[in-house]
Amino acid sequence: MPQFVAALPKTVRTIAVLDRCKEPGAIGDPLYLDVVAALREAADAGESAFVQAPRVIGGRYGLSSKEFTPAMIKAVYDEAVKDQPKNHFTVGIVDDVTHTSLAVDPEFDIEPDDVKRAVFFGLGSDGTVGANKNSIKIIAEETDNFGQGYFVYDSKKAGAVTISHLRFGPRPIRSAYLIRKANFVACHQTEFLDKYDMLDFAGPGATFLLNTPFGPDEVWEHLPREVQQSIVEKNLKLFVIDAYKVAKDTGMGVRINTIMQTCFFAISGVLPRAEAIEQIKKAIKKTYGKKGDVVVQKNFAAVDHTLAHLFEVTVPGKVTATRSMPPTVSDAAPDFVKRVTAVMMSGKGDLLPVSAFPVDGTWPVATTQWEKRNIALEIPVWDAALCIQCNKCAMVCPHAAIRAKVYDPALLAGAPATFKSIDYKAADFKGEKYTIQVAPEDCTGCTLCVMVCPAKDKSNPKHKAIDMTPQLPLRESERANYAFFLDLPEVDRTAIKIDVKGAQFMQPLFEYSGACAGCGETPYIKLLTQLFGDRALIGNATGCSSIYGANLPTTPYAANRDGRGPAWNNSLFEDNAEFGFGYRLAVDKHIEQARELLAALAPTVGENLVKEILEADQSNEAGIAAQRARIASLKAKLAAKKEPEAARLALLADYLVKKSVWIVGGDGWAYDIGYGGLDHVLAQGRDVNVLVLDTEVYSNTGGQASKATPLGAAAKFAMAGKSMPKKDLGMLMMTYGHVYVAHVALGAKDAQVVRAFQEAESYPGPSLIIAYSHCIAHGYDLAYGLDQQKLAVESASWPLYRFDPRRIALGESPLKLDSGAPKIDLGQYVRNETRFRMVEQANPEHFKHLLALAQREVTNRFAVYEQLAKITMPVKVAADAATETKES
């Protein structure tokens, strides 16, 4: 304290103290109070050199990653010199509620001209961020320049915008804030022209690089008016390249990062072109070398083909566009979505005032439907004439972007001219029409629907009932078709036979998430919401499923037309089982209270109605619907009553409709960090359902090994190949005897998955479903994820089974194997995945040893399962067990 006071110049009149924290309830934030106390104690001790003590004002900055720029620092100085400065202020937000914020001049800039600044807008998972990190390394290591990079992106797994801020110059760069005015702006995705004001970052005379399918002679007429105006007014140079064409021609798929990186170096001139290309190739070899020489050579080819497709555009001297940027969301969106969500979606959320945010912290659901990301270059197109109406395409779609409906033919009146329908073939909805429809602007182009489609044209086997077609020419017509499709009534749930086909006639209440294209987890969550979503309570462990499940500004969980949908929440990583168990305890207590109140009010509301509610069979959709009708009747009667008990029962009555409690998370949670809690909860015998989305790695945090990682696979912390076998979570839980356990893989046997979900939910005790979920961390194109799941099952690396304690009472083995003995060697499965191949490439002999161990472990484990599946209990013991289960 004395040293701090002594260090202050005697001429100081005002001290502005900035805290990067908030202490609710305190009279000031920590550093502010320290400064005030130091000055006062120094004065009291006679150690202060000030004739008049400096005035101290305090403020907050930078909370929740808010920017802190030179303009904000200037605002603090401007405030400090006032005769009556504001104390306990904020800077960096717009506080129009308590009016604490300082005004900031957005045009104030102190960056020197000799520091070059570049801003890149990329698409999540296209490699832009990684390429720009390499660019900074190249510039810093191969030139006399110093470099700096900041990277901004949200928590979507793929398909969101990423913004890279690169600086380089002759001195060390200490600008700890994002670029406001750049010399170079790159747009790596044409669709961003209609979504983001990218050229707001461009300074006068800057260069704008655009990835677009339109050539240099036609691109100008395809630019929105606002973009043309910025180019003309700021005198920008415009370059274009069709990077996706280059990527496709060189076998890179949709990875355009090295192509756009080559363009940057060619245009910027920071290095001679030949030297830049040489350094890019060095970085490619270092970055992708472990993935094999094929990947490296494809990247080399992409770099070599780039400059021939890069063109400078002659910019007209005037704006000629007839169209403007469309609104961020449709006019049909709710008011809150237009006022708040849309602003965040456009990248301007920092400009929202405090008053815009919900007072109670609640946010609307089903908001992903307004994003319309348009990230798929190609989308599936349905050939009705070939379709066998299996609904498998809808079943595997990770984003609920392809759907099936049956409906009355009369509803086709007013359908768009391009809307497709055919007669429904099966007897359950005889006489109705059938449609498979894609959401063109929500599809991610993963191709899983095409891969799973079994219907082929006999004259042209490459043509299926679902094929990929360029999206842009179809966008307008398919947008209208999808809107019409959504307006068709949902199929009556009570009339649906619940199997693979029937489940896809149920409305998904998890849609258009930010998961990776081809994600292996989301089809299971989508199915859960289709089967039970209108009465589900979901506790979600932190991980991929919580990130794409509820990240601002949008959420994929939705409600049906009756306003019912999953009640979803996320606590922490480690306590999710306990958190979900709390759901169960709370629901059971509410049910207990509701039943007591209902019995007490029976003379008032009707003995027969009470009896029907208390004894209701809610084992199927018809039973659930009937119970809801009874509850509606009950609430109508309660509304006319004045007793406090009636009001209390009215609040609790909906709990008398069966609730489905689910605990969802990944293998990092279930096998590792949350295992203790999971084991404890399943041991309690209460009616909870656990879904483990097993990617065999910590997917969300970057691919670290978990106890679910198989023997021989490389992952962070096990780069030489994991030396121990995968933990057998299913076997461990089966030893309790009272836990329903299913081991499933959608790509191998989808019917078993649907059956397992139904059995688990109907089981009146704890249930555990362990679901194989292919993942980008496995290191292959996820278009082949379903094929890999089949190979995993055929090699017995992932046996399919269902352990149902209810079978014991029938004198049957509780364990039923749904897959057979190994059909292929383990190597045929694992060598398709980089996580195994990289171990073999690094040390073939070591991998050979690990593979032999893994093969032995897989073979032995399946042999144990085969023996367990043959075990039955004596009939009397089984009957006693059934009686005990019923009594408990």
| pLDDT at res. 150 | 96
Q: Which two tokens stand for residue 631?
A: 């509850």
6: left (phi over 0), alpha (psi -120 to 50) or beta: alpha
What's the CA angle centered on 638, arms 636 and 639, to 5 degrees? 65
Asked whether the beta carbons of 695 and 521 are under 8 A apart, the reply is yes
pLDDT bucket at 494, cuts 50 / 70 / 90: very high
Q: Distance between CA 758 and CA 755 in Å, rounded?
A: 5
Q: Distance between CA 479 and CA 511 in Å, rounded?
A: 16
Q: Phi, psi (5° rounding) for residue 116?
A: -85, 140
Kindly report which listed range (225-229, 251-255, 465-469, 647-651) carries the lowest average pLDDT score. 251-255
**Nearest alpha-carbon partner for 773 in 848, 670, 861, 857:** 670
Q: What is the pTM of this model?
A: 0.93
**Nearest alpha-carbon partner for 111 in 173, 61, 200, 166:** 173
CB-count burial class (<10 Å; 0-12, 13-18, 19+) for 571 = middle
Question: Average pLDDT of 432-460?
Answer: 97
| Alpha helices, H only, 24-84 | 30-44, 70-80
Q: Residue 453 pLDDT > 80, yes or no?
A: yes
Question: Average pLDDT of 417-445?
Answer: 97
pLDDT bucket at 299, cuts 50 / 70 / 90: very high
Cβ atoms < 10 Å from Cβ of 635: 16
| pLDDT at res. 159 | 78
Asked whether the beta carbons of 839 and 779 are under 8 A apart, the reply is no
Asked whether the beta carbons of 359 and 552 are under 8 A apart, the reply is no
Q: Does an H or E element contain 594, and which? A: helix 576-600
| pLDDT at res. 1 | 76
| pLDDT at res. 668 | 96
pLDDT one-digit tens code per residue, 625-654: 999 999 999 999 999 998 999 999 999 999
pLDDT bucket at 881, cuts 50 / 70 / 90: low
Q: Distance between CA 823 and CA 795 in Å, rounded?
A: 6
Q: Does an H or E element contain 456, and which? A: strand 456-457
What's the CA angle centered on 440, arms 246 and 341, to 5 degrees? 100
| pLDDT at res. 362 | 85
What's the CA angle centered on 175, arms 172 and 177, to 5 degrees? 150
Question: Average pLDDT of 99-104?
Answer: 96
pLDDT bucket at 156, cuts 50 / 70 / 90: confident
pLDDT one-digit tens code per residue, 578-604: 999 999 999 999 999 999 999 999 999
Q: Which residue has the higher pLDDT, 691 or 294?
A: 691
pLDDT bucket at 192, cuts 50 / 70 / 90: very high
| pLDDT at res. 406 | 98
Q: Distance between CA 433 and CA 720 in Å, rounded?
A: 56
Q: Which residues of 803-818 are buried (b: 16+ CB within 10 A; e: fewer)?
A: bbbbbbbeeebbbebb
pLDDT one-digit tens code per residue, 741-777: 999 999 999 999 999 999 999 999 999 999 999 999 9
Q: Torsion over CA of 90, 94, 98 and 100, rounded to 10 degrees?
A: 30
Q: Distance between CA 877 and CA 664 in Å, rounded?
A: 34
| pLDDT at res. 160 | 84
**Nearest alpha-carbon partner for 520 in 778, 769, 188:** 778
pLDDT one-digit tens code per residue, 778-807: 999 999 999 999 999 999 999 999 999 999
* Helical packing angle, 293-306 and 273-288, nearest 10°: 160
Question: Average pLDDT of 101-125?
Answer: 94
- Which CA distances in Å does 282 have to 140, 285, 541, 808? 15, 5, 40, 63
What value does the mean pLDDT of the chain take? 95
Q: Residue 883 pLDDT > 90, yes or no?
A: no
pLDDT bucket at 836, cuts 50 / 70 / 90: very high
Q: Distance between CA 262 and CA 304 in Å, rounded?
A: 9
Size of the chain, expressed as the number of residues it contains: 888
Q: Which position has the token pair 């305190």?
A: 26
Q: Residue 136 pLDDT > 90, yes or no?
A: yes
| pLDDT at res. 882 | 55
CB-count burial class (<10 Å; 0-12, 13-18, 19+) for 767 = buried
Question: Average pLDDT of 503-524?
Answer: 97
**Nearest alpha-carbon partner for 125 in 568, 573, 793, 777:** 777
Q: Residue 888 pLDDT > 60, yes or no?
A: no
Question: Average pLDDT of 288-302?
Answer: 89
| pLDDT at res. 436 | 99
- Strand partners of residue 815: 803
Asked whether the beta carbons of 796 and 862 are under 8 A apart, the reply is yes
Q: How far apart are the first and last CA of the chain?
A: 66
Describe the strand order of the beta sheet including 402-407 as a list of residue ranges.
Answer: 402-407, 433-438, 422-423
pLDDT one-digit tens code per residue, 479-489: 999 999 999 99
Question: Average pLDDT of 421-429?
Answer: 97
| pLDDT at res. 124 | 85
- Beta-carbon contacts of residue 280 (< 8 Å; ≥ 6 apart): 134, 138, 258, 261, 262, 265, 303
The DSSP output letter for 283 is: H
| pLDDT at res. 880 | 64
pLDDT one-digit tens code per residue, 532-571: 999 999 999 999 999 999 888 999 999 999 999 999 999 8
Q: Residue 809 pLDDT > 70, yes or no?
A: yes
pLDDT bucket at 287, cuts 50 / 70 / 90: confident
Cβ atoms < 10 Å from Cβ of 204: 10
The percentage of the chain sitting over the pLDDT mark of 90, rounded to a whole number, equals 91
Question: Quick one: three-class SS letters along 92-109?
Answer: CCECCCCCCECCCCCCCC
Q: Residue 278 pLDDT > 60, yes or no?
A: yes
Question: Average pLDDT of 397-416?
Answer: 98
Q: Distance between CA 390 and CA 401 in Å, rounded?
A: 17
pLDDT one-digit tens code per residue, 326-364: 999 999 999 999 999 999 999 999 999 999 999 988 889
Asked whether the beta carbons of 210 and 219 are under 8 A apart, the reply is yes
E strand map for 648-730: 660-666, 689-694
CB-count burial class (<10 Å; 0-12, 13-18, 19+) for 416 = middle
Q: Distance between CA 249 and CA 234 in Å, rounded?
A: 35
- Please give the distance of CA 272 from its chain centroid, rounded to a whole number: 41
pLDDT bucket at 614, cuts 50 / 70 / 90: very high
Q: Residue 213 pLDDT > 90, yes or no?
A: yes
